[in-house]
Structure 1
Amino acid sequence: MTAITSVRGRRVWDSRGNPTLEVDVILEDGSLGRAIAPAGASRGTREAVDLRDGGSNLRGMDVAQALESINKTIAPELVGLSANNQSAVDDRLLELDPSPIKETLGGNAMVATSLAVLHAGAASAKKPLWRHVADLYDQTPSIPLPEIQIFGGGAHAGRRVDIQDFMIMVPGAQSFDEVLEITNEVYFAAGDIMASKGRLAGVADEGGWWPVFDSNEEALETLVKAIEKAGEKPGARVAISLDIAASEFGQNGKYRLALEDKAMDSAELIDLLGNWIDTYPIVSIEDPVGEDDTDGMIEFTKRFGERVQIIGDDYLVTNANLVEAANADRACNAVLIKVNQAGTVSEAVDAFAAAKKSDWGAIVSARSGETEDVSISHLATGLGCGQLKVGSFTRSERMVKWNECLRIQEQLGSGTFAAGSALKGTWWGKKH
């Protein structure tokens, strides 16, 4: 009854107004699974390809080739396979495109299909997706701690500032709903501060305030003021998280902060970030150095790994082998899980499993080009990974994922909220 009878792809549109792919998977019992591929702007060189047509139509962003991959190549090969056997489905997808970065069929075609099969399996079992994920991968579900953008930067905001995300986390909250209430206060306090300075200029790709600052550190200073204006003590219930996305402004151990017209080497960048860690209540830093700067990542982890969460995104690209290698090198202590970065659900879960085996943190993440798809809210919950990064606290493609977590919390109960336990190895966790 769980055999796949039909796979159909269609072109839909993402939060940036660009084409993307949606896939419907129908099973023998009539169950339907549906999922949409997201798209990133800041992309690691080793992540799955977001296959685009190029040319002049739709600024080269059309997805006709990837759509053909689904309807002509993938669809007939999946008919008859069981949606209850996610690994077998994903293995078949990988046989159809064995290229390391999914450049033949397109990572966007593969991830939409893989996720749609996961949804179909849940629908057939008459389970919410989070429960299906937990059962399928033998995990204990929990409501994740959010990581929420207040100021967007880097590739998400025309590179107006070099640092990509200035975010907050609320590990001191008692429920997911409490996190969102506090975030609302901080987010709008930040907007009020910018408006009072005549610097309110709209929002970036992921919904955070557009960064009209004279330096990268001014954004940190303003974020601290916003936390205080919201009635919170920085470092108490609320802490700061950064996505440096250093590969976007450096390579070969050389970096340039364009906003400040400042060149530096890996050691100088590490010193700069270390000074920020000493000065501000920063609990998590993502991609502090470039994806090609292994020595820098090892040094950063050596110096600060006992104090903050150090996340590999472009550095690890949701790849289990890279997670294992980084653990052996003692580079990073957490991994960002982006299903479209890997290409299939099974590969993403393998990366999560490698992180868990290494006693690392794991953060399921959205992309800057998003949609109304809520798969990642369920993945983060079902895997019990403890953390979820979606973007900011505005725009429906972001809020739909936060709101889905509220619904899931009603099913699981507020006592399953990860809260500060997700940051147990950081200064915050040790303090509390």
Structure 2
Amino acid sequence: MPGQQASPVVPAPARSPEYDIQVAVTAGFLNHAIALAFSTGVLPSKFHLKFGAAEDPLGLSTSVDVDLSVSDVALFTEAGEAQLVGLRAKWSGTITIHVSLADWTIKTPGGDYIEPGVDQSFTVPFEGDFAATAKVILKQLDDNCILTISFAQLDQLDLARIGSLTPGADFTEVIRATIERIAVVALRKRITLPTLNGLPGSLATPAQALLDAQSAQIGATDFKVTSRADAESPDELQLLLQATQNLGQQSYQAVVSVGESGSDVAIALSVRFLTQILQDLWVGGVIPTQFDDKGQPSRDGPNWIERLSFSATDSGKLQLRVFAQRKVIGLPITVNVTLEFKPVISSGGIFANDVTVDLDLDVGWARATAGSALFFFLYQCLASVLIRSVADVLEPWADAMLADFLNGKGISLKRSVSWDGTPFKFDFSPSFVNVSAPEISFGVALNLHA
């Protein structure tokens, strides 16, 4: 009632999904991003090393220049290895050896003899293949999550050619070992992922930035490589997040693929976590509780929501219960409205299909209030998480958006967003939504371009 604090959201039945949040990115999409990064110069592909020595008494100086180019860089995964990610590439370049001898003057009784100096360079081209396997480790440091990629050794570093030489095994091994040492040292890097204003990339931002809710505080972060059921589809690299209040209820071994064909990113949210988020949004006033007779939020509206709860079923439907209240002749009347619906993705938006409405008392104001409650549930709990997960934020809701939804037009999720710090843009389009009792999962197709 107006002037009274709204009752808390009714919790959903407890279930035990693998993690509260699973964000899965396909290796195929990551390889496309890597190729684009190299082609646009965001990642360097050419390297130069130089070293030398001089012996002044002899007038001798030598130098060695190594020019190295890397191409065809791609990630690969190992079957059954949950935390290992491989990197393979082709490499080529030149080794230039420069020798300089100064003019040498020899004094003799018959006069000075000058031996001409030498200034000569030899260039030897080389090419080969590179492969390394790294262990991916995630560590939480205060509000930041640091990704450590540890390359213990190179799995493969083959020399296909060294100029026109026919070197022996010892010489080839010296060259290979030298380049291996350079590569391993260079690859032993601790990096922080770039900021994307949300999951899955912004491990360097506070974890609670996912949603403005206390329940969105992340207490554990893990990483796992999983295979999709379709053997021809690329493996998924999954970021696994567990809310602080649910620590100890996650199961690393039970984590499996969450994506489907046509999706580059898949996001699974536990119903338990969404219930906690809904509770926070309700108590914090993010979800309106007072409406007019058309279902529009209004501080002076005669209708308000007393309670709100939701649950999910294995039949693929969500059930939203709304306790709508209104004063009639000075007396409060509460109508219990149950909406059962199937969320679907169509034409870039999220819709509520197969909606069935059950009311204690079939009155228009209760239907309108329940319809608005459904909009804000989809908008704040599902759409906002999904959009923020790919570096965008939904614009503040407008009357027109709510009206469109109530008229069956859904909530549009198509976006084109920029990746801060790079020349890249994402064209974002949802591809699927699945509902089961433990969790709700979404799929997203991403067109990444410069």
**TM-score normalized with structure 1 length:** 0.21
**In proportion to residue count, which structure has more strand?**
2
Higher RCO (CA-CA < 8 Å; seq separation 6+): 1
Decide which structure has the larger Cα Rg and report it: 2
**TM-score normalized with structure 2 length:** 0.21
